[in-house]
Amino acid sequence: MRPGEGLDALMSPRSIAIIGASQEATKIGGRPVDLLRRHGYAGRIYPVNPKAATVQGLQAYASVADLPEAPDLAIVAVDAERASEAVEQCAARGVRSVVVFSSGFAELGEQGRAMQERLRLAARRTGMRVLGPNCLGAVSVAEKSIATFSIVLEHSMPAAGLLGIVSQSGNLGSYTMRLASERGIGVSRFITTGNECDIDIADGIAWLARDPATKVILCCLEACRDAGRLISALEEARGAGKPVIAMKIGTSAAGQAAAASHTGAMAGSDAVFDALFARCGAVRVRSIDELIDLGHAASILLPDRLPKGPDIAILTASGGFGVLIADAAQAVGLSLPELGEETQRKILELVPFASARNPVDATAQMSSRPDLLEKIMSAVVADERADTVILPLPFSLHLPRLRSIYMDTLRNIRAQFPHRPIILCVDGPEDALTELHALGFPTIANFDGCCATVAALVRLQAAAKRPQDMPAAVQRAEPLAADAFRHELGAKRALADAGVPILAERLVQDADAAVRAATEIGYPVALKIASPDLPHKTEVGGVAVGVGSEADVRRAYGQMLDRVATKAPHAAIDGVIVAPMAKGVAELILGSRIDPVFGPVVMVGLGGIFAEILHDSAVQMAPVSETQAMAMLRSLKAFAVLDGARGRPRADLAAAARAVAALSRFAAAHADTVAEIDVNPMLLRGEGEGAVALDALLIPHGKTPVQGHH
């Protein structure tokens, strides 16, 4: 099934059966019955319990087969051993969707995986969709459809709103829903996928992308089982104009191990997840607070109030607050342009002792006189040098007098400037915040969170406007000859056939041949040992550079073989590579590997000593286009080194991008046989002069990568 197909019965059921329904509302099997009744679900509720005639005042049934109809949704709240049989009975009865609360499946090992496979096969045979097992279920807020045992709903339902939540972790998802509710932020749907025997995170994203009740999708992700489905779902959300705000957890080695253990899936490389989100227009955040703040702000500002860029104006009654916000803003990449002369003149005419440049400190006069407040704020909001206006009101809404002043002013400002993004850094009474949200003002409680949200909104706007630049599909190639894996000469020739530029080199077996090759190539030359056993040639003395004459070639050739014979007596020697000496302005490392989740990925970073010192690289799924490759280069922290910083010559970035794209196509075409590719270094010449791979290594599947190789 394509992502999201068949979830209507899960999210909008007309009837719900609870298998394992309990009389006690505190038990897992009793909680859904209690919540459905207490919160006013309008559909039919069928408790299934062979030992009871009624459950919590409702007629009970001995089995699914005894129900008066096949319900749209069945909740399975029995132990793992009985859950598999219950799901199969649901499939036989014609139930359209099932939620399995039970744990004890793939997360516990081989026996659990076998039981989980029974659930998956039952779903596949009939088209019934299965959520879980080991999940916290799903909720549709407006319909009061509750298929969860979460304590979050015990006292109240969230308000119906525009945020859809899909999470692999049940408690993480329900905690997100609870925090949103406490902030007065409405929720449309809540889906937790657990072990994902059938319905996965991609299904949740894709269904929410089609859901009229959802405007913004919050995604809590631990791992990915099917990269193609996830990409398809993210692209669908992007096409529907519904931003996906993703919190991917498990970024540390310990966190990734825990995620794999918890969900029964292998976590993919964190850097590749970053690349995936960027490519598909999703915005990644690092905490639940960021997730909720950004989701809240986006739901209010979409579609036509998102910041157009990173320039902000700060209007405050306190110079200290202005400085604090300015510091927080610059820390997340926002900038504070000086406001226009006309704007500053208007402010100073109203408050001569104000600071009018940006941040604007209008002093306490701003809040003591309502007429001043509106005029100053109008001047700042009207100045289009700033893309967003931030207004801190830390305690103002808690004081009736100030609340009245600010609420009246903000109503008037919104009427004057209906499309300008204005973010309020404020906390206050729930009714005041609700009114501000309705007027189109997001409210964030703290300075750092406010600035982080604005920065993320800028990324979200850029992602929405970024044209899709998908490279052409690559056909799988025929297996490479064995020589391509033997040493650098074969590797570089294979890459050259794919479009990666290399030098004209010769492989020789004696000193006379080395002299002839050097004469034809032109002095000076470099000599390198060619051996399948010596990827680190310099460590055994297997490299000589700047060899400038016939005599020097003979001497260097003999000395090199002697050094190698001493330090690596058992290494197979194919000969010596004679290559021209090449000069350039910078070095890159290019490479690829097979990610366990996303398949072939390509990497580029600054080479030479910078590779080890800066750990600065960019990663993308292969293949990439030249435009994407250039974006990878520009994302490097040290990009300025390549771009001619401090008077340095500018490197041929276009040639570098072509090489990255060519290597990525090669990696994708040979993914079945090539496990890793290493080009180190790739020498960049000056602008317009090209680039060339000086060393390369191809590692086939099944061979352990050379320890310490990039």
**Burial label, 670 (beta-carbon count in 10 A; 0-12, 13-18, 19+):** buried
Weakest-pLDDT range from 219-228, 452-461, 493-502, 640-649: 640-649
Query: Does the pLDDT of residue 440 top 60, yes or no?
Result: yes
User: Long-range contact list for 340-347, CB < 8 A, 24+ apart?
Assistant: 340/383, 340/385, 343/379, 343/380, 343/382, 343/383, 343/385, 346/375, 346/376, 346/379, 347/376, 347/379, 347/380
Per residue in 104-139, pLDDT tens?
A: 998 888 899 999 999 999 989 999 999 999 999 999
300-354 pLDDT, tens digit each: 999 999 999 999 999 998 889 999 999 999 999 999 999 999 999 999 999 999 8
Provide the pLDDT confidence category of residue 637 given band limits of 50, 70 and 90: confident
Residue 478 domain-assigned? no
Amino acid identity at 329: A
Confidence tier at 699 by pLDDT (50, 70, 90): very high
Say if residue 116 is in the same domain as residue 57: yes
Residue 685: pLDDT band by 50, 70, 90 thresholds?
very high
Mean pLDDT of 242-271: 68
Grouping H, G, I as helix, E, B as strand and the rest as coil, residue 662 is: helix
Token pair for 655: 């040639």
Query: Does the pLDDT at position 103 exceed 80?
Result: yes
Structural tokens at position 457:
């909104």
Q: Which of 391, 291, 385 is nearest to 339 (CA)?
A: 385
Q: Is residue 285 part of a domain?
A: yes
176: in domain: yes
User: What average pLDDT does this structure show over 668-690?
Assistant: 94
- Residue 663 is part of a domain; what is its CATH number? 3.30.470.20
Is pLDDT at 47 greater than 90 in this prediction? yes
Q: What is the domain count for the chain?
A: 4
Measured CA to CA, the distance from residue 623 to residue 626 in angstroms comes to 10
Using one digit for the tens of pLDDT, what is the confidence trace for 345-387? 999 999 999 899 999 998 887 777 778 889 999 999 999 999 9
Are residues 529 and 560 in contact, defined by beta-carbon separation less than 8 angstroms?
A: yes
Residue 645 has a pLDDT of: 82
Counting Cβ atoms within 10 Å, is residue 511 exposed (0-12), middle (13-18) or buried (19+)? Answer: middle
Its pTM stands at 0.90
Domain boundary among 265, 280, 300: 300
**DSSP string covering 104-138:** -SGGG-HHHHHHHHHHHHHHHHH--EEE-SS---E
Do 596 and 514 have their domain in common? no
- Cα separation, 168 vs 221, in Å, equals 6
**By the 8 A CB rule, do 250 and 258 touch?**
yes
The pLDDT score that the predictor gives to residue 372 is: 87
Whether residues 613 and 553 share a domain: the answer is: no
Is pLDDT at 264 greater than 90 in this prediction? Answer: no
How far is the C-alpha of 698 from the C-alpha of 670, rounded, in Å? 11
The range of the structural domain enclosing residue 446 comes to: 306-465
Amino acid at site 278: A
Stretch 53-60: mean pLDDT: 97
Same domain, yes or no: 43 and 126: yes
Give the mean model confidence (pLDDT) for residues 50-55: 96
Spatial strand order in the sheet of 525-530:
506-508, 575-580, 525-530, 543-547
652 and 598 co-located in one domain: yes
In order, the DSSP letters of 595-657 are: ETTTEEEEEEEE-THHHHHH--EEEEESP--HHHHHHHHHHSTTHHHHTTGGGPPPB-HHHHH
Amino acid at residue number 509:
Q
Question: What one-letter code names the amino acid at 697?
Answer: L
Does residue 262 have a pLDDT over 60?
A: no
| Average confidence score pLDDT of the chain | 92
Cβ-defined contacts of 555-558 (< 8 Å, 24+): 556/527, 557/511, 557/514, 557/527, 558/511
* pLDDT for 709: 41
Backbone angles phi, psi at 421, to 5 degrees: -75, 120
Two tokens, residue 216: 């913004």
Question: How far is CA 352 from each of CA 319, 355, 375, 701, rounded to the nearest angstrom?
Answer: 15, 9, 14, 73
Flag whether 486 is in a domain.
no
Q: Please tell me the distance from the alpha carbon of residue 377 to that of residue 34, in angstroms, as a whole number.
A: 50
Q: How confident is the model at residue 707 (pLDDT cuts 50, 70, 90)?
A: very low
Q: Which of 465, 486, 520 corresponds to the end of one domain?
A: 465
Task: Give the model's pLDDT for residue 322.
Answer: 92
Question: What pLDDT does 268 receive?
Answer: 56
Pair (164, 270) in one structural domain: yes
**Does the residue 498 lie in any domain?**
no
Is the domain of 448 the same as that of 517? no
Do 278 and 352 sit in the same domain of this protein? Answer: no
Q: Is residue 37's pLDDT more than 80?
A: yes
Residue 561 and residue 635 share a domain:
no
d(CA 307, CA 385): 12
Query: Of 580, 604, 634, at which residue does a domain stop?
Result: 580
Assigned token pair, 103: 């744990």
The model's pLDDT over 588-598, given as tens digits with 9 standing for 90+, comes to 999 999 988 88
CATH at 114: 3.40.50.261
Which pLDDT value is given to residue 257? 56
For residue 420, the tally of other CB atoms under 10 A from its CB is 18
459 pLDDT exceeds 80? yes
Least confident of 51-65, 374-388, 607-621, 664-678: 607-621
> Which pairing describes strands 138-140 and 145-147: parallel, antiparallel, or unpaired?
antiparallel
- Cis upstream peptide for 442 (omega within 30°): no
**2 domain residue, yes or no:** no
| Beta-sheet strand order (sheet of 244-248) | 145-147, 138-140, 187-192, 160-167, 216-221, 244-248, 283-285
Q: How far apart are CA 546 and CA 528, in angstroms?
A: 12
Q: How far is CA 25 from CA 18, 46, 150, in A?
A: 13, 15, 12
Give the 3-state DSSP-derived string for 232-274, with helices as H, strands as E and coil as C: HHHHHHHHCCCCEEEEECCCCHHHHHHHHHHHCCCCCCHHHHH
Token pair for residue 329?
């803003």
Query: What is the distance between the alpha carbons of residues 9 and 199, in angstroms, rounded to a whole number?
Result: 13
Instruction: Grade residue 710 by pLDDT with cuts at 50, 70 and 90.
Output: very low
Residue 259 is predicted with a pLDDT of 54
Mark whether 325 and 380 lie in a shared domain: yes
In a domain, 280, yes or no: yes
Whether pLDDT at 288 is above 50: yes
Is 706 inside a domain boundary? no
* Alpha-carbon span 488 to 20, nearest angstrom: 64
Shared domain check, 72 and 96: yes
Residues 110, 31 share a domain:
yes
Asked if 681 and 500 count as a contact pair (C-beta separation under 8 A), the reply is no
Q: Which helix (H) or strand (E) holds 566?
A: helix 550-567
pLDDT in tens, 393-438: 888 899 888 899 999 999 999 999 999 999 999 999 999 999 999 9
The per-residue pLDDT for 708 is: 41
Instruction: Enumerate residues 6+ apart whose C-beta is below 8 A from 539.
Output: 567
